[in-house]
Amino acid sequence: MNLGLPFHLPNVYVAASGDRRDEVDIPGALTGISTALTIVKQLNEIDARVDEASFKLKIAEVTAALAEAKLGLVDAQQELRDRDIELAELRRKLQFKAEETTSHKGMTYDAIDGKPVGAPYCTLCEAQGKFIRLVEHVNVSGQPWKCPVCKADFQWPTRFSDPR
């Protein structure tokens, strides 16, 4: 965008997967920058007859608008970092599920050579992205398997022996 200024304001980019770059939408920061540019345009139009106090006031307004825009960009940068961390964790969990587990009768188990091993994971916790193994309560009849986190009860899921 050419505003007749002696400098160019670059677009704000965030690195994404691969070589692709996506433009970040940061409304607050862009509003602050737009306000600052409007004030700069007004400064260019100030008549030489205007006193020094008016000029200093406009400079103060530009400074405040740019500071607000900078804070908006810092907040957006932190939010993007937080999302990157969350995305990495979700990818790690997805990779774990795809490479190290298998399903049997609707339950997820650890896998060795593609075969289920040990006790299953809690299906309720798994739906929330947590891999919590069920524990067996030997003194309980009917539904002896329980999730230690969400406390859900399960009826007789299969326990597979470890071939190692």
Lowest-confidence range among 10-24, 58-72, 144-158? 10-24
Question: Is pLDDT above 90 for 123?
Answer: yes
Measured CA to CA, the distance from residue 93 to residue 83 in angstroms comes to 15
Contact 157, 134 (CB under 8 A): yes
Measured CA to CA, the distance from residue 39 to residue 46 in angstroms comes to 10
pLDDT digits over 24-63, tens only? 556 767 777 777 778 777 776 766 556 777 877 888 888 8
Measured CA to CA, the distance from residue 66 to residue 23 in angstroms comes to 20
User: What is residue 1's predicted lDDT score, i.e. its pLDDT?
Assistant: 38
* Backbone phi and psi for residue 103, each to the nearest 5 degrees, phi listed first: -110, 145
pLDDT digits over 59-69, tens only? 888 888 888 88
Question: Is pLDDT above 70 for 8?
Answer: no
Question: Is pLDDT above 80 for 77?
Answer: yes
User: What is residue 17's predicted lDDT score, i.e. its pLDDT?
Assistant: 42
Quickly state the pLDDT bin for 132 (edges 50, 70, 90). very high
Mean pLDDT over the full length of the chain: 77
Lowest-confidence range among 6-15, 81-90, 114-123? 6-15
* Backbone phi and psi for residue 132, each to the nearest 5 degrees, phi listed first: -115, 120
User: What is residue 10's predicted lDDT score, i.e. its pLDDT?
Assistant: 41
pTM: 0.50
